[in-house]
Amino acid sequence: MELTREEQDMAAGKYGKATQTAMDILITLGEIYGAEKLIDITSVQIAGVSYANLNEPGLSWLENMAQDGKVRVFTTLNPAGMDLEEWRKLAISEEFAENQQRVIEAFGRLGVITTCSCTPYLYGNLPAYGQHISWSESSAVCYANSVLGAKTNREGGPSALSAALVGKTPEYGFHLEENRQPELTVEVKCEVKDTYRFGALGKVLGDRFGKKITYITGIPKASVEELKSFCASYATYGGVALFHMKDITPNRVNKVPDTVETVTEEDMKKALGDLDDETEIDFISLGCPHASLKELEYIAKKLEGKSINPKKEVWITTARPTKQIADRMGFTKLIEDSGAKIAADTCCVVAPIKGRFHGLASDSAKMCYYGSGRNKFAVKLMSMDECLEEALS
């Protein structure tokens, strides 16, 4: 890769050890993927924040980087392994909480905004169309590329942090316009609405077409909540970082692909059936990706004056800023008076809850995937209304 004078100085250690390590990582990546140069980025989202993922080696690497490193662009964080303020109500151990706080403090020293959410675009890390960014967190990457029209590869935690410290990323993959065109047209021939059905559609497409960039037709409209659910599922089941949706997503399509595949109600039923284990539900997870304020308002109104079955645990995961507004609007009180818990800053996949529950219900196909694969729960994909009915029954 061709490096500017400043980049060469960074690589030589003139800007400190952390920046030198970051340059090493970016140069290695650039060489592997054939990038010719580094390009400026405007924002970063870092995943791999939970102590459950990092463990001691990850945390000491981070603390090392924090000795002399400082981010050069606006940088936010993915969910941590617990609610950073009310972790006790989620029955997180003292030891885990202490280590998780060390992780957050290290990111803070690095100059990262310690927001801890997988929907950074809902509260301030909102790139404009066409901007180059460096994000990890597969659902947010898919949303940023497809729905916002920003440009990012699927970064890992270390490469995203490196990009933040240097303010640049190697120019390859989805940063190049020629790699962003659709390869396949998919006609959706059934009704798709609600977060859970958008999640099921993501599973159908991911299972069938993998990472291929699709041009999707037949969806008349989609809300932010439906799109975030779709992005999370499609990125999980297919590893997809970019799709186009006719009349909904903003990216330019030079030519609609001639190869056409269809998705029918039968395909949707099969996907829903795959995520319908015969099981007793004792854990309900909503807010994957993190719940929007609109979703919290909806849930609060549904739960007002009602009581959750005490044998069931309900977590609604969201970003701290969203919860703060929900507090002011009285939504938090309505939800928590019912017995459900708002879990800010965290996510049911990266919280240390393996073995604590048996049967998980969620309106998120992504949560079902990891609930089953990582936490070994039996899972059921249901609409948000059905999840809430399940919690009350």
Give the residue nearest to ligand F3S (CB): 347
The answer to the question of residue 368 lying near ligand F3S (CB under 6 A) is no
DSSP string, 165-193: HHTEEE--GGGSGGGSS-SEEEEE-S---
Nearer to ligand F3S, 22 or 47 (CB): 47
Q: Which two tokens stand for residue 177?
A: 């316009």
Residue 381 sits in the site that holds ligand F3S (CB under 6 A) = no
| Least spacing, CB of residue 362 vs ligand F3S, in Å | 9
> Based on the number of CB atoms within 10 Å of its own CB, is 129 exposed (0-12), middle (13-18) or buried (19 or more)?
exposed
Interacting residues of 338 by C-beta distance below 8 A, sequence separation 6+: 303, 304, 306, 307, 308
Residue 316 binds ligand F3S (CB under 6 A):
no
Q: Per rule CB under 6 A, is residue 257 in the interface with ligand F3S?
A: no
By CB under 6 A, tell whether 232 contacts ligand F3S: yes
Nearer to ligand F3S, 344 or 392 (CB): 344
Q: Is 98 exposed, middle or buried (0-12, 13-18, 19+ CB in 10 A)?
A: exposed
Instruction: Between 104 and 347, name the residue whose CB sits nearer to ligand F3S.
Output: 347
What is the distance between the alpha carbons of residues 284 and 32, in angstroms, rounded to a whole number? 42
Q: What angle do CA 40, 41, 42 make, to 5 degrees?
A: 130
Distance CA 46, CA 48 (A): 7
Residues 58-117, interacting with ligand F3S (CB under 6 A): 78-79
- The CA distance from 227 to 292, in Å, is 12
Q: How far apart are CA 63 and CA 17, in angstroms?
A: 12
List the one residue out of 332, 285, 280, 340 whose CA is nearest residue 307: 340
Q: Which residue has the tokens 């299972």?
A: 207
Binding segment toward ligand F3S, per CB under 6 A, in 53-61, 101-109, 124-132, 363-371: 363-371
Q: Is the peptide bond before 289 cis (omega within 30 degrees of 0)?
A: yes
Residue closer to ligand F3S (CB basis): 14 or 356: 356
Name the residue nearer to ligand F3S (CB basis): 65 or 367. 367
Of 232 and 281, the one with the shorter C-beta distance to ligand F3S is: 232
The separation between CA 289 and the C-alpha centre of its own chain, rounded to angstroms, equals 6
Q: State phi, psi for 174 to the nearest 5 degrees.
A: -75, 0
Shortest distance, position 236 Cβ to ligand F3S, whole Å: 8
Which residue lies nearer to ligand F3S by CB, 143 or 174?
Answer: 143
Interaction mask 284-303, ligand F3S, x per CB under 6 A: ----xxx-------------
Of 298 and 369, nearer to ligand F3S (C-beta) is 369
Cβ contact 106:63 at 8 Å: yes
Q: 120 to 149, contacts with ligand F3S by CB under 6 A?
A: 139
**349 belongs to the binding site for ligand F3S (CB under 6 A):** yes
Nearest approach in angstroms of CB 100 to ligand F3S is 15
Among 103, 116, 118, 222, binds ligand F3S (CB under 6 A): 118
Helix (H, G, I), strand (E, B) or coil at 145: helix
* Residue number, 189 or 374, with CB nearest to ligand F3S: 374
Among the listed residues 133, 286, 314, 347, the single contact to ligand F3S using CB under 6 A? 347
CB nearer to ligand F3S: give 69 or 289. 289
Nearest approach, Cβ of residue 347 and ligand F3S (Å) = 3
Binder of ligand F3S out of 20, 76, 114, 317 (CB under 6 A): 317
Torsion of CA 140, 144, 146, 152, to 10 degrees: -100
Nearest approach, Cβ of residue 66 and ligand F3S (Å):
23
- By CB under 6 A, the count of residues binding ligand F3S is 14
Query: Is the Cα dihedral 368, 92, 341, 296 positive or negative?
Result: negative
- Give residues in contact with ligand F3S (CB under 6 A): 78-79, 118, 139, 232, 288-290, 317, 347, 349, 366-367, 370
